[in-house]
Structure 1
Amino acid sequence: MGNDSLKYISTRGYQEKLEFHDVIFEGLAPDGGLYIPETWPRLDNDTIKSFNKKTYQEIAFNVISPYVDKSLPSKSLKTIINKAYSEFDNSEITPISKLNDNYYLLELYHGPTFAFKDVAMQFIGQLMSYYLNQDNKYINILGATSGDTGAAAIEGFKDIKSSKIFILHPYNKISEVQRKFMTTVKSDNVHNIAVKGSFDDCQIIIKEIFSDYEYKKQKNLTAVNSINWARIMCQIVYYFYALSRLKNNNEKVIFSVPTGNFGDILAGYIAKNMGLAIDMLNIATNENDILTRTLESGSHKLKSVKSTLSPSIDIQISSNFERLLYDITKNSEYITTIMNDLKNLNSYQLSNSITDKIKESFCSHTVTESEVKMLIKDTYNQHNIVIDPHTAVGLGSAKKCKNIYDLIIVLSTAHPAKFKDTVSSVINDISFIPTKIEKMMNFDEKLIILDNDVQLVKNFITDNTV
């Protein structure tokens, strides 16, 4: 399988088209844009129907194959997929739990760091290692995390001798468990950088470093944030998996996705474009509600980031929203203009025609802090299921959607133990905390704390790379 004709282009019009082998290492395009396939491959109905008899790994092979080329033979892709998911603690990889007749939780936290980021990062670690061994190359991996990406990336790349990994996180703005999943890893190739600022500040630093094209090439830098196409590609799979296990006839389907950087929900939009019968995607936001406001008014205006109980989506700059806007407009000049407005003016305005087009596939509802606590408590009391604050945002937002859907699938993006202090204080129970996390809390940490300054981060990377 594979698709040698499929090329990847920048949302901002950079002329050079990339092949799969190159796009997974590239991160941002030289013009600051994000890479996206020229077209969306489609799966035929018979293939999609056959998924109900296939394992997660087999579905992954069918969904990912159209995006790769001859640089990754089918046999090697299958090996990478099987290795990637060998450490998950559930044979279904992303199992589904039922809340009631039409509400379901898609559990995405059964990987080694207990968050949905493992689904992509375990694959990417194997994929990059495959290519690096083939090419006899060495890379330096750079990423920013709002809590879970960093841990998953470090777990995926620790001890890989052909790489060093630098992860930025906002100092004192992620949970203790999230931080310790990163900072207690004993591996010489791992560097944790705590930045005195927000996650958005960390993202800006990453983008500034990647925009220095000469430095990027000199240091052989690559990204593992969801600006990396491979991240999005892997996440498409579990939408197909979910409906292969739930959808039988012509049910109306909505997925509700706790949303910060827009990568996870974008994967659902791509699945829909590939032929999956999704009626609506709900952008579930906490009080950092820029995307909800954008859909309501067309005004995409940055505000100060609020610290909430769901820190992984405490985000104002949703990087992957750019990919959606390009796919809707197919106008790279327009994308460049509004992204410059966002950078220089902290806002841009979308036309009614664009927001109407977005609303064909997306709705959006905000969940308050008090609602998050109530939903955690009610889900525990009524269903004996413990959910984390981000899942609570997804569930609470879903309940505000139109009551027209037969299947309401909430993406449960993190194990509640990653936010054990918040959750245990609400339900007065700690039995949900795994032994692995209890032990980890006593491990020593290794990190460096830096001011919110691009040059300081750059200097640290320079001093710690070959």
Structure 2
Amino acid sequence: MDYISTRDAQANPAKFTDILLSGLAPDGGLYLPAFYPTITPQLLDDWRALLDADGYAALAAEVVGLFVDDIPPAQIAEITARAYRTPVFSTDEIVPVTTLTDSLHIAHLSEGPTAAFKDIAMQLLGELFEFELGRRGEELNILGATSGDTGSSAEYAMRGRENIRVFMLTPAGRMTAFQQAQMFGLDDPNIFNIALDGVFDDCQDVVKEVSADAAFKAKYRIGAVNSINWARLLAQTVYYISTYLRVTESNDQRVSFAVPTGNFGDICAGHVAKQMGLPIDKLIVATNENDVLHEFFSGGNYRPRSAAETQATSSPSMDISRASNFERFIFDVTGRDAALTADLFAVKTKQGGFSADELGNSEALRAIREDYGFYSGTSTHADRVATIKNVHAEHGYLLDPHTADGMYVARSLAGQVETPIVVLETALPVKFSETIEEALGAAPPVPERFAHVMEAGRHVIDLPNDAATVKDYISAAIEGTK
């Protein structure tokens, strides 16, 4: 399997292990497979039996193997077995599913070490990185940005691993106390937390600017764990498949997914699974007050907002106004027109954005809704609080604020979507106790594995929103002069 950049009109091929370690393409684009493998009905039958008999790790090995031909299958199986196991995850199922009604389900993506869906991809990345770096005798310095959960998931997946350092940018003061404690409480010598004076989009822009400096990136072996890294999305396609298999009895049934999203990574994995042939009906984009993506899918205009216009909300991991993975989706929508994609994302987004009419197809928005199956909706703080309260009262199930966004939008569209809807969970409620207390009048329960998180010290440095300053810090840390 070869990989190509969304901005490379020549479609120069790259191998999986090369893009695994590099993250962003040299031209600023994002990598995608040259084609999507096909899921046949027979393959689904085989996977259904495999999941029942051997579990999630075995299924993951099969799915990853479709996209990776430069790691032997036996070693892929060993890698997924190490990534998806207890006690790393709190349940053998890895991604269990709860049925609320015949037409509404929740896929539990928060059984990992940091209680967030990012753990599922990060645990696989940690194993892949360590395997490939060991094979090459190289080291990697990971630079990432987080709006709340990516950072802690990455750090817990990479801590203590040989030949890997993690430099994680966070928006100063924009995460919950629990999220900050999870990250800043780590005192591992290969983990470096940086609180940037800005919002998540600023952090993401700094990551992209540093990664675009080819000389710096090569000298210091800079890699990525954000969802700009294709391996993240690859790992996430697995739980769409496993969830589909768990909520259906036969392959003639279709299922829809409601996905809380800000950076379009989680739902982009669903798009990939649907393009492969998984019987997905609708992919429902659920946003909070930062509703740039909803504006596009409902009205056809993609207008990224500035940091000043990005609201701080009670579902902070979605406080994003420039969705990196949206470029991958638009690349597919334009018929994989790299020149047009480069113009849209390297030029027009900086000038204010673009409309669906500029995608080279006057029927693009219709195709996005009907052919690609994308619906969308948005919710407010009041909607989140009411949804948390209602779902808890009706079903005895406690949602976190982000999953509440997904649940609110799913329920609001239930009359328009004829197939069962699976809401993808974002995190456990313990990470957002303030909102839970507002909804229920009591703090959420604290799982035993997180009982002492808030007691740890804090290990973080404050830096201005400036790529040059961040580069200076990274180079000093790597060279041991920090």
Scaled by the length of structure 2, what TM-score is found? Answer: 0.93
Give the aligned partner of residue 278 of structure 1. Answer: 280
Partner of 1:355: 365
Q: How many residues are treated as equivalent by the alignment?
A: 460
Structure 2 equivalent of residue 57 of structure 1: 57
Do the aligned partners of residues 462 and 343 (structure 1) sit closer, same or farther apart at CA in structure 2, a change above 3 Å counting? farther
Question: How far apart in 1 are the matches of 2:260 and 2:348?
Answer: 23
Match of residue 265, structure 1, among 264, 267, 270:
267
Q: SS at the partner of 1:279? A: strand
Structure-1 residue corresponding to 2:8 = 13
Deviation at 1:95, TM superposition (A): 0.4
For residues 371-402 of structure 1, give each alpha carbon's deviation from its aligned partner in whole angstroms, at most 9, with x where no partner exists.
Answer: 00000111111111111000000000111225
**Whole-Å Cα distance in 1 between the matches of residues 419 and 366 of structure 2?**
24
Please list every run of 5 or more consecutive structure 1 residues that lacks an aligned counterpart in the other structure.
Answer: 1-5
Distance in 2 (CA, whole Å) between partners of 1:228 and 1:287 is 26
**How far off its partner does 1:180 sit?**
1.3
SS of the residue corresponding to residue 169 of structure 2 reads strand
Partner of 2:223: 222
Q: Distance in 1 between matches of 2:433 and 2:451?
A: 10
Aligned to 2:136: 135
Indicate the larger mover: 431-440 or 304-313.
Answer: 431-440
1:122-170 C-alpha deviation (Å, 9 max, x unpaired): 0000111001111110111100001111101101110112011100010
For 2:331 and 2:265, the matched residues in 1 are separated by 14
| 2:314 match: secondary structure | coil
> Residues 307-336 of structure 1, C-alpha deviation per residue, up to 9 Å, x if partnerless?
111000111111001001101211111111
Structure 2, gaps ≥5 residues long: none
Cα distance, 1:431 vs. partner?
5.2
- The change in CA–CA distance for 1:14 and 1:130 in structure 2 (over 3 A counts) is farther
Query: What residue is the counterpart of 2:158 in the other structure?
Result: 157
Q: Equivalent residues in 2 for 1:58-457 (5 A)?
A: 58-69=58-69, 71-86=70-85, 87-249=88-250, 250-303=252-305, 304-329=309-334, 330-351=336-357, 352-360=362-370, 361-403=373-415, 404-430=417-443, 432-457=445-470
- RMSD value, Cα: 1.3
Q: Secondary structure at the match of 1:284?
A: strand
Q: Quick check: 1:251–1:407 contact (8 Å CA) kept in 2?
A: no
Instruction: Out of 400-409 and 224-233, give the one that drifted further.
Output: 400-409
Amino acid at match of 2:356: L
How far, CA to CA, are the matches of 2:319 and 2:348 in structure 1?
Answer: 18
Alignment check: 8 A CA contact 1:388 1:423 kept? yes
Provide the C-alpha distance between the structure 2 equivalents of 1:21 and 1:251, rounded to a whole number of angstroms. Answer: 35
How far is 1:178 from its partner? 1.1
Q: Is the 8 A contact 2:429 2:444 kept in 1?
A: no
By how many angstroms is 1:355 displaced?
1.8
**1:432 offset after TM fit, Å?**
1.8
In the TM superposition, residue 14 of structure 1 has moved relative to its aligned partner by 6.0
- Alpha-carbon distance between aligned partners in 2 of 1:17 and 1:124, rounded to the nearest angstrom: 22
Deviations 1:420-450 (Å, cap 9, x if unpaired)? 2221332123352123333110110100011
Percent identity at matched positions? 37
SS of 1:441's equivalent in the other structure is helix
SS at match of 2:412: coil
Corresponding letter in the other structure for 2:6: T
Could you tell me whether the CA contact under 8 Å between 2:267 and 2:283 is conserved in 1?
yes
SS of 1:128's partner is: helix
SS at structure 2 position matched to 1:464: helix
Query: Given residue 31 of structure 2, which amino acid in structure 1 is its aligned partner?
Result: Y
CA contact (8 A) 1:210 1:216 kept: yes
Q: 1:402 to 1:102 in 2, by over 3 A?
A: closer
CA deviation after TM superposition for structure 1 residue 103, in Å = 0.7
**Partner amino acid for 2:468?**
Q
The answer to whether the 8 Å contact 1:284/1:364 transfers is yes
Contact 2:282 2:374 in 1 (8 A): yes
Structure 1 moving runs of 4+ over 4 Å? none
Deviations 1:69-112 (A, max 9, x none): 1x311111111101111210011001001112211000000000
> 205-214 or 338-347: which moved more?
338-347
Question: Which residue matches 1:3?
Answer: none
Which letter maps to 1:344? K
Deviation of 1:274 (Å): 1.4
- Whether contact under 8 Å (2:58, 2:81) holds in the other structure is no
Q: Which amino acid aligns with 2:376?
A: S
**TM value normalised by structure 1:** 0.96
Distance 1:426 1:221 in 2: 42
- Would you say the 8 A contact 1:14–1:29 is kept in 2? no
User: 3-state DSSP class of the match of 1:137?
Assistant: coil
